[in-house]
Structure 1
Amino acid sequence: MAEKPPLPPKPKPPQPQPPRPRPKPPAAAARPPPAPAPRAPASNSKPPAAAPPFKKPSSLAPPPPQVLGPLKPPPAHQYRQHPSSAGGGSRKPRHRGGCSCRRLCCLATGLALLALCLALAAACLAYLYYRPRAPSFHLQPLSPVRLRVVNASSSSSVWAVDATVGARAVSWNPNERVAFRYGAGEGRVALADADGDVALGWAPVAALDDHAPRTVAALAFVAAARGVVVDEAVAARVRDRYRRRALAFRVVVDAHVGVRLGALRTGMVPVRLVCDGGVMAPRGGGGAVGPMSKCQVLLFRVRWFSLN
């Protein structure tokens, strides 16, 4: 009986190796083909030789060259797209409104500065041509002055004063081309005393439409008061000074004044005349006889300039 041929030795399975981090091959790099599986040898053939160990491709080997097509420039609209509009619809074009607003503001500012410069130039020329000067005010001696001091009650310590006082403030216009206008107002008269002024009433002041250049105008009124209560000491001083014509008065006139330059008329502004040191006119002489006191002018109730 013939002997059976010996069985070929079984190939040893490859020992597993620890996994190593493999570098990521390029996308277009070709992978090595898998090793063919060993085939079982025929019964009458010689045992096959052992398969060579598996060799990994070297990671240092350069990848095969890739065939790339011609580079195309990106479309131009990609640079104008806003990041927020990548996932949404198209964005409307922005209008350049800010630039127009800035231009309008600059133009308006320039026109305002030009108008201001023209107004200043016109004012300077008008001042050089007209040479305006403020009018002067004086208070004439007060006339008529009638005082009556009576006992107001049975008690001798309470007295009353009845008074009628006429005041006249005259104004001199020193200009040659400038005229003034005085609106209606009111005048008040007070009797100056060491213990305090004693109000002697008020009266309206008539308006004066035209105070021509190089002329004199007057603001006159007559104030009256009845039953002004004073104490005994003041009543005694008033009686004594009235007999000696030595009473001192304070006159205040509130009115409005405007300027007229030819056919041009300005608006009316409030003016106050404060005349201290008013005196009584001498007997039989009238209001134009005697020394005149100075008046102070207040524009807008603020001291603007002093006049002699």
Structure 2
Amino acid sequence: MAEEAKPVLQKPPGYKDPNIPIAVLPKGPQPMPVPTRKPQIPQSFIPKQKQKVDMNMNMNKNPKRRKSCWRCCCCYFCIVFLLIMVLVVLFGSLFYLWFQPKLPMFHLQSLKMARFNVSVNSDGTFLDSQTVVKFQAKNPNEKIRFRYGETKVMLSVGDDIDLGSEVIPGFVQERKNTRILKFGTQNKMVIDDDVGAKLKGRYRNKELVVFVEVRTKFGVRVGSWKMSMVSVRVNCGDVSLKKLEAGATPKCTINLLKW
């Protein structure tokens, strides 16, 4: 009886027959490996401290570019500043040549003491005074008008003895105009006995020295154009009653932007 045929066993997956020679591939240029991309991490997952470090690193990458931008900005600023200064000087020169501006002139015209009583009693020495001051303001300009704000006059005599003050409202002074400002002051105060005796003697001999200070705000008006007002202090003084009664009109000094 013939022998039965044996079944052929199946080779497992990945089996290599040792009897089959391995084919060797010819040597040649190897393909370049594909670079792997770094995964992008959302900004919300990056710590804030690391974000600041990255920003600083990015800013420091182009220091030359930042320096050049800074130099350009400085150059532009200098050019603009010089242009503004040139325009201001040019405008001021044209204004001066055309209008020939002059400062106002002030004089102490008169000072009359309606009452000046120094009385001594058991309570001390008292001074009771009433004075009328006339003050002259002159505008010598032909094309410019002056604007004055609220004006305050203060009167003192001797060793800084205050005789009172008065305030008048502002006004506009026309071209080539002279204006008389009238102020009335009065005061009642207690003074030292020695000071009272000196004031009484000097007033009797007309040797009492008076000092007038005027504080106001001053501006220029040309047509419809108005310049901003500036503070002005006018000092008139160190003149005796004898000279004033003789008709002297001492000129006053002007101090701008000073109080």
| Fold match by TM threshold 0.5 | yes
Which residue, out of 177, 183, 187, partners 1:221?
A: 183
Partners in 1 of 2:204 and 2:58 — Cα distance?
98
Question: 1:275 — aligned with what?
Answer: 236
Is residue 251 from structure 1 mapped to residue 212 from structure 2 by the alignment? Answer: yes
User: Percentage identity across aligned positions?
Assistant: 28
Question: 2:252 — aligned with what?
Answer: 295
TM superposition score normalised by structure 1: 0.57
Is residue 207 from structure 1 mapped to residue 170 from structure 2 by the alignment? Answer: yes
Question: 2:103 — aligned with what?
Answer: 134
Contact 1:184 1:205 (C-alpha < 8 Å) held by counterparts = yes
Partners in 2 of 1:183 and 1:267 — Cα distance?
11
- Structure having the higher helix fraction is 2
> Unpaired runs of 5+ in structure 1?
1-90, 303-308
- Structure having the higher strand fraction is 2
Partners in 2 of 1:92 and 1:246 — Cα distance?
84
Rg larger in structure? 1
Contact 2:110 2:135 (C-alpha < 8 Å) held by counterparts = no
Contact 1:141 1:280 (C-alpha < 8 Å) held by counterparts = no
TM superposition score normalised by structure 2: 0.66
* TM-superposition CA deviations, 1:134-159 (whole Å, max 9, x none): 111110121353112212426xxx31
Is residue 262 from structure 1 mapped to residue 223 from structure 2 by the alignment? Answer: yes
Distance 1:238 1:112, change over 3 A: closer
Partners in 1 of 2:76 and 2:205 — Cα distance?
74
Which residue, out of 33, 52, 72, partners 1:103?
A: 72
How much is the aligned-residue C-alpha RMSD, in angstroms?
A: 3.0
Is residue 150 from structure 1 mapped to residue 119 from structure 2 by the alignment? Answer: yes
Contact 2:207 2:242 (C-alpha < 8 Å) held by counterparts = no
Contact 1:167 1:222 (C-alpha < 8 Å) held by counterparts = yes
Q: In structure 2, the residue corresponding to 1:113 is in which secondary structure? A: helix
Is residue 235 from structure 1 mapped to residue 196 from structure 2 by the alignment? Answer: yes
Question: 1:191 — aligned with what?
Answer: 157
Partners in 2 of 1:228 and 1:221 — Cα distance?
23
Is residue 121 from structure 1 mapped to residue 81 from structure 2 by the alignment? Answer: no
Name the amino acid aligned to 1:230.
D
Question: 1:175 — aligned with what?
Answer: 141
Distance 1:165 1:135, change over 3 A: same
Q: In structure 1, the residue corresponding to 2:150 is in which secondary structure? A: strand
